[in-house]
Amino acid sequence: MSIIKILSESLVNQIAAGEVIERPASVLKELLENSIDAGADRIIVEIKDSGKSFIKVFDNGFGMTSEDLSLALQRHATSKISDESDLWKIHTFGFRGEALASISSVSKMVLRSRTNENISGAEIKTDGGEMSIPTETGMSTGTQIEIYDLFFNTPARQKYLKKDSTELAHITSVFNTIALGNHNIAFKFIHNNKIISDLPKVTDLISRISDIFGRATSDAMIPVFFKSGAFEIDGFVGKPLLSRSTSQYQYFFVNNRAIQHFLLANTIKSAFHSMLMDDKKPVFAINIKIDPSLIDVNVHPRKLEIRFEDQQSIVKAMYNAVKGSLEKHNLTPKAFTETFRYKNDGVISYREKSPSSADIFNALNFSKEIFSSGKNSLFERSFKKIGEDADNSCQEKSSINSITQIANSYIVAENEDGLVLIDQHAAHERVRYEELMDQFDKKEKQIQSLLIPSQIELSAEEVAIIEDNKNIFIDLGFEIENFGGNTFVVYAVPNFLSKEDIVEVVKGILDDILQEKNPSKMHGKIEQIITYMACRSAIKFGKKLTPDEMQALIMQMEKLKRPYTCPHGRPTMISLTLNELEKMFGRK
């Protein structure tokens, strides 16, 4: 007896659904793409319970006849390709004919549609893939799909859905992404009978960026454009001040299809060069228009990846387009004029005649003493107990005394052993970090009420996150309330935070929350958030300090539990002993 069996159509569809339909957001993506392929210029999305119990998409596209309605629910039934050659010139988002069959197999569906030629529409219902006979119904031209009880017949899949706020964040991300890539279409998004987004049809991408993310974001974006015979790059990149700690705000489109492309994302970051910290990512929304015959979109179950026939040309053009735009807007750092010196025999690198970086590092090494834990460590000898009152720290005696400041960034100090060089930002960041962690652990928040409250424009996705995690903001010392729509008002903040840093810090906290998928790990995430807040509120590079301020910082460091590094692990100070100085000058 044969043990190999042909699977039933229902089981095949459920297997296909496992590849394509991961969560409610996956359903929405497939339905929105179908609506766009149908030529719709207005699409309404309505969901309940973050899409777990109900998803509806209604469009004004060209619709389907009663006969097409039944065929649309069959696997591998599509109007978008007809033979093998069509796979290499795909102009539509969908082409496999799998989505509706897969969705219907794991849900209860009502599908209604009407073409402009018919005076009435047709309706068909499914229950776990079991299809009813089409019936006549009254409706306007277009298609309406209602999905009920997603994964009702696959409890294992249902079990792994996340909490409502997480699923809503995924749905909002899909909605925003598709709306960004198709600004010539009007979109409306309703959740639990509340309008989340209502986006009018606009003529350009920057207007859609403004509608989704707010005017402050769109005003900080700069255009990027490149055109060759084979392709065109068109979009916007955010100025460095918009950079985020997550790639959530990086949007790539190829012929308006949203894709992920890590090489191109890294290429754009490379174009920013030293303008961004290593842990920051640029914000952008860029569309590549290219002949469909020069790309392969059939390489990923959810069509999130793409292959370019000439990837090298795309990467090179992207780098030059972004870098050129940054230079045009005076955002790239200027090179030092002494990078090269000239000789009769040509140009040689300045470094050829200068000490190597290794020589400098050996001369100005991280003193082993300063990081040792013994009683006679440099830190132990240098930072004596100076009394309880921090406000009078500058009047106390210390065996480390500040001398001057270099480049308004580094404090030069001396002690009995030689020189101590202090990174003022890293040192103050460590001070802030330990203060904040101590306040958080003891629940002793020190907050300041704002005389003039600060307004913040958030995306719909960020609104969902902040509403579900208000306790985190309260614990950190923020008083923040919804002012209506996507606008929030901050009434109070931690007492050390300056008003100009409020927006960036709030958005940084939202990024950190978004990246943590496991609620049980939020305590570790709180530490990461406090690290970020400490960094933002610490003394900045380039800030001139008075002698008293420099000495006060040194005194504050004496009280730290771990004074040797900032929360990111960078050293706060290095030492150069008298013995090392004498060796450098040939006296020993």
pLDDT at 385: 32
**Is the predicted pLDDT of residue 482 greater than 80, yes or no?**
yes
Residues 322 and 394 in one domain: no
Which of these ranges, 128-142, 161-175, 502-516, has the smallest mean pLDDT? 502-516
Please give the tally of structural domains in the chain.
Answer: 3
Percent of the chain with pLDDT over 90: 38
Residues 547 and 463 in one domain: yes
pLDDT at 90: 57
Two tokens, residue 338: 């002494």
- Is residue 318 a part of any domain in this protein? yes
Specify the CATH number for the domain of residue 324. Answer: 3.30.230.10
DSSP string, 183-202: TTSEEEEEETTEEEEEE---
Task: Report how far residue 467's alpha carbon sits from residue 304's, in angstroms, rounded to the nearest whole number.
Answer: 29
- Is residue 343 a part of any domain in this protein? no
Segments in 6-159 forming alpha helices (H): 9-20, 24-37, 66-72, 99-105, 155-159
Residues 216 and 196 in one domain: no
pLDDT at 427: 92
Which of these ranges, 202-216, 373-387, 421-435, 454-468, has the smallest mean pLDDT? 373-387
**Is the predicted pLDDT of residue 270 greater than 80, yes or no?**
yes
pLDDT, tens digit, 9 for 90 and up, residues 11-68: 555 555 555 688 999 999 999 999 999 999 999 999 999 999 999 999 999 999 988 8
**Highest mean pLDDT of the ranges 54-58, 290-294, 492-496, 520-524:** 54-58
**Is the predicted pLDDT of residue 210 greater than 60, yes or no?**
yes
Which of these ranges, 49-58, 251-260, 338-347, has the smallest mean pLDDT? 338-347
Among candidate residues 328, 359, 383, the one where a domain is terminated: 328
- Is residue 126 a part of any domain in this protein? yes
pLDDT at 374: 38
Residues 197 and 233 in one domain: no
Contact in structure between 92 and 4 (CB atoms under 8 Å)? no
pLDDT at 362: 40
Range of the structural domain that residue 134 is part of:
9-201
pLDDT at 494: 83
Residues 194 and 214 in one domain: no
Two tokens, residue 499: 């008003």
Which of these ranges, 104-108, 307-311, 346-350, has the smallest mean pLDDT? 346-350
Which of these ranges, 282-291, 313-322, 380-389, has the smallest mean pLDDT? 380-389
Residues 373 and 256 in one domain: no
> Which of 452, 447, 450 has the alpha carbon at shortest distance from 477?
447
DSSP state of 273: G
Kindly state the average pLDDT of the residues 75-92: 53
Residues 23 and 119 in one domain: yes
Specify the CATH number for the domain of residue 406. Answer: 3.30.1540.20
pLDDT at 204: 96
- Is residue 345 a part of any domain in this protein? no
Hey, CA dihedral for 352, 277, 427, 559, is it positive or negative?
Answer: negative
Contact in structure between 534 and 562 (CB atoms under 8 Å)? no
Segments in 228-279 forming alpha helices (H): 262-272
pLDDT at 415: 84
pLDDT at 72: 81
Q: How many Å separate Cα 225 from the centre of its chain?
A: 23
Residues 313 and 397 in one domain: no
> Which of 377, 501, 460, 510 has the alpha carbon at shortest distance from 47?
460
- Is residue 128 a part of any domain in this protein? yes
Specify the CATH number for the domain of residue 86. Answer: 3.30.565.10
**Is the predicted pLDDT of residue 183 greater than 90, yes or no?**
yes
Among candidate residues 201, 230, 265, the one where a domain is terminated: 201
pLDDT at 293: 85
Residues 178 and 39 in one domain: yes
- The terminus-to-terminus CA distance of the chain in angstroms comes to 92
Q: CB count, 10 Å around CB of 250? A: 21
Two tokens, residue 492: 């109070």
Where is 410: in which H helix or E strand? strand 410-415
- Is residue 249 a part of any domain in this protein? yes
Among candidate residues 201, 216, 250, the one where a domain is terminated: 201
**Is the predicted pLDDT of residue 79 greater than 70, yes or no?**
no
Residues 192 and 274 in one domain: no
Residues 459 and 530 in one domain: yes
Residue 558: pLDDT band by 50, 70, 90 thresholds?
confident
Residues 297 and 153 in one domain: no
Q: Which has more pLDDT, 513 or 526?
A: 513
- Is residue 319 a part of any domain in this protein? yes
| pTM of the predicted model over 0.85 | no
- Is residue 348 a part of any domain in this protein? no
